[in-house]
Structure 1
Amino acid sequence: MLVSTNVLAVRPTARTLLAENGSVAALVVLVVALSLLSGDFLTVTNLLNVGVQAAVTAILAFGSTFVIITGGIDLSVGAVAALSAITLAWTAADSGLPWPLATLVALAVGIGCGLVNAALVAYGKLPPFIATLAMLGVARGLALVVSQGSPIEMPEAVSHLGDTVGGYLPVPVLVMALMGVVAAVVLNRTYSGRAMYAIGGNEEAARLSGIAVSRQKLVTYALSGAFAAVAGVVLASRLASAQPQAASGYELDAIAAVVIGGASLSGGKGRALGTLVGALILAVLRNGLNLLSVSAFWQQVVIGVVIALAVLLDTLRRRSGR
């Protein structure tokens, strides 16, 4: 009888671990499967390439994690990334501003876009979907206006972000790791991080407990904008130019990475590590399908199915009360 009791006590723990680490298990299975299907997959060069491919999406997704944990959504991160990169290149190339100051201006643009989103949501009472969709159009339009629809060359010092350290380790991967650490610290070690979880869990209860909900939403969306600006600079550095149409559709990949990583679209749940794993799953999947010479059209189908399954699993988790 004692043994049965112990077994019953272990089962919920095992189920909990599986639920919390399901994305990690999925990544491991995916890596093993692609290693068996393609001899070129499990090589150092290709794995570093996967990291580079995941970098921009992961950085965007870290910022989106903050918003999704509060129960919101940010559809503007791809456009804000493009606008921030265009701002950096334009202020440095056309206005002659030193690149460190131009970088700060680009970061300020990303934060400013986030603050506008937050103001529309927190004070204008617009649904996050509508507010950030409007910002998507505004930011993309401004990127086209400033650049006049043409790419702008990035400053040489900034373009080194697309290079490698010692000719081996890609800088975008290092930036991704750094931003992941920042996201984890914000979520786990700061008052704002704890407030995000509280707001996502129950906004009214958070307000009654003394949390300044509107102020914390300003912080949340500002962080999302800042991470988008960093992602835009990294992407432009890889391309050696800021392009007004860059990062188009990346907002969907960012949201997908957050959900695949175990966050809940209803809010109150999510981790930086899970988001990183979600971004890696998308990058590994795309890389593996390319190595297997799968048509780009079918790749879109596969990615869509993966996203649908991730959202379905999130829905099932919420229904089961996990």
Structure 2
Amino acid sequence: MSNDMSLKAGALPWRHRLFEFLYRWGMLLTVVALVALFGLASDNFLDPNNIVNILRAIAIVTVIAIGVSISLAVGGFDLSVGSTASLANALVISMFVWHGLDTTQAILLTLAACTLVGLFNAFLIVVLKIPDMLATLGSLFVVQGVAMTYSFGGSITQNMVLPSGDMAEGEIPAIFSTLGQVPVIVIIMLAVTAVVQLYLSLTKHGRRMYAIGGNPEAARLAGIRTARYRILAYIISSWLAALGGILLASRIGSSQVNAGGGYLMDAVAAAYIGFSLAGSGKPNALGTLVGAVILGVLQNGLVMMSVPYYAMDIIKGLVLAAALAITYIQRR
């Protein structure tokens, strides 16, 4: 009887250690498993050109998703990132085509304009005390409407006919077009990931954001200016969403109606998948990058395996559900 009990007691730590290992490194193991699976299933999956395509495809999602992670770090949630990317997409192209500005001027003015989105979100959440998800859902529609109104409900391209009947004479600078191409777009993605990861992990401001996300009342009593950090989080989120829209504009060379809307759900999924990287159980930029890689590998591999496009969201949803299950089971 005692031997049976000791065996059971000895089994528990082994199972616990196994679960801890899977919890900490399960996302990285998932990437390796997916790459191996698709590599065996398709001869072209591991081709260097295809790997480059995956990295290029996830760059914009990653940048936008890290913005979502910043809002999650303070216990919030920014649903307006997709529409902010659409607005930035329209603004930056119009600066070239309609107003003839250079690359630096166009990007700075676009980022400045999108800062207003972050301030608007912060006003709704911090001042008016509207719950984050509801406030940013409302701003999603507002910003989307502003973007469509600004672009007159259509695309913005070179040599387009303006509503006045005149021809747009501005051109997109060649240097701007390189931002959306490999390797520049991948370097920007990695740079954003590294900067935000270091900011959240190693600076006092990042640790304060985590403290606010963990227990806002305790953070306030500890002397942290919670309102200031929540405002900052939504401004950074809007900047990164705008950067994603700018990269999208560079990549496709035009502004399309609601171009950033399609990135919202993938960005949210990548941010939540990243919670479980290295067992952090909290938003982090490196985990978000890994989450985006998982989604990108899934998307690319399923296409190569001729899986119907309408079935892909099922698999993405299952992956997100599994990641959330691992994260929240560990918290119980």
**TM-score scaled by structure 1?**
0.90
Q: For residue 241 of structure 1, what is the aligned residue in structure 2?
A: 254
CA spacing shift, 1:111–1:186, aligned 2, 3 Å: farther
State how far apart, in whole Å, the 2-side matches of 1:268 and 1:35 are.
30
Query: Offset of 1:273 from its aligned partner?
Result: 1.0
Query: Offset of 1:95 from its aligned partner?
Result: 2.1
Q: Is contact 1:198-1:206 (8 Å) kept?
A: yes
Q: For residue 304 of structure 1, what is the aligned residue in structure 2?
A: 317
> Which ranges of structure 2 fall in alignment gaps of 5 or more residues?
1-6, 158-171
**Aligned with 1:131 (options 132, 135, 143):** 135
Query: Offset of 1:16 from its aligned partner?
Result: 3.2
2:211 is paired with a residue whose SS is helix
Query: Offset of 1:217 from its aligned partner?
Result: 0.3
**Which of these two proteins has the greater Rg computed from alpha carbons?**
2
State how far apart, in whole Å, the 2-side matches of 1:172 and 1:133 are.
29
For residues 40-81 of structure 1, the C-alpha deviation after alignment (integer angstroms, 9 at most, x for no partner) is 111111011000111111001111111112221111101101
Query: Offset of 1:261 from its aligned partner?
Result: 1.5
Partner AA of 2:213 in structure 1: G
Asked if residue 158 in structure 1 is aligned to residue 176 in structure 2, the reply is: yes
Q: For residue 219 of structure 2, what is the aligned residue in structure 1?
A: 206
CA spacing shift, 1:268–1:262, aligned 2, 3 Å: closer
- Single out whichever of 144-153 and 192-201 deviates more from structure 2: 144-153
- Single out whichever of 268-277 and 56-65 deviates more from structure 2: 268-277
Query: Offset of 1:163 from its aligned partner?
Result: 2.6
Partner AA of 2:123 in structure 1: A
Query: Offset of 1:20 from its aligned partner?
Result: 2.0
Q: For residue 33 of structure 1, what is the aligned residue in structure 2?
A: 37
Q: Is contact 1:93-1:155 (8 Å) kept?
A: no
State how far apart, in whole Å, the 2-side matches of 1:91 and 1:238 are.
16
State how far apart, in whole Å, the 1-side matches of 2:276 and 2:141 are.
26
> Which ranges of structure 1 fall in alignment gaps of 5 or more residues?
165-169
Q: For residue 167 of structure 1, what is the aligned residue in structure 2?
A: none
Q: For residue 73 of structure 1, what is the aligned residue in structure 2?
A: 77
Q: For residue 293 of structure 2, what is the aligned residue in structure 1?
A: 280
Structure-to-structure mapping, 1:242-257, within 5 angstroms: 242-257=255-270
CA spacing shift, 1:178–1:126, aligned 2, 3 Å: same
Q: For residue 180 of structure 1, what is the aligned residue in structure 2?
A: 193
CA spacing shift, 1:299–1:9, aligned 2, 3 Å: closer
State how far apart, in whole Å, the 1-side matches of 2:151 and 2:213 are.
38
Asked if residue 21 in structure 1 is aligned to residue 25 in structure 2, the reply is: yes
Partner AA of 1:137 in structure 2: F
Q: Is contact 2:89-2:259 (8 Å) kept?
A: no
Query: Offset of 1:6 from its aligned partner?
Result: 11
CA spacing shift, 1:120–1:263, aligned 2, 3 Å: farther
State how far apart, in whole Å, the 2-side matches of 1:29 and 1:309 are.
15
State how far apart, in whole Å, the 1-side matches of 2:108 and 2:33 are.
41
Asked if residue 58 in structure 1 is aligned to residue 62 in structure 2, the reply is: yes
State how far apart, in whole Å, the 2-side matches of 1:291 and 1:59 are.
25
Q: For residue 314 of structure 1, what is the aligned residue in structure 2?
A: 327
Partner AA of 1:51 in structure 2: L
State how far apart, in whole Å, the 2-side matches of 1:71 and 1:204 are.
12
State how far apart, in whole Å, the 2-side matches of 1:15 and 1:86 are.
47
Aligned residues: 311
Q: Is contact 1:86-1:143 (8 Å) kept?
A: yes
For residues 192-220 of structure 1, the C-alpha deviation after alignment (integer angstroms, 9 at most, x for no partner) is 21111101111100000011001000111
RMSD value over aligned CA atoms?
2.4
Q: Is contact 1:122-1:217 (8 Å) kept?
A: yes
Query: Offset of 1:9 from its aligned partner?
Result: 7.3
Asked if residue 295 in structure 1 is aligned to residue 308 in structure 2, the reply is: yes
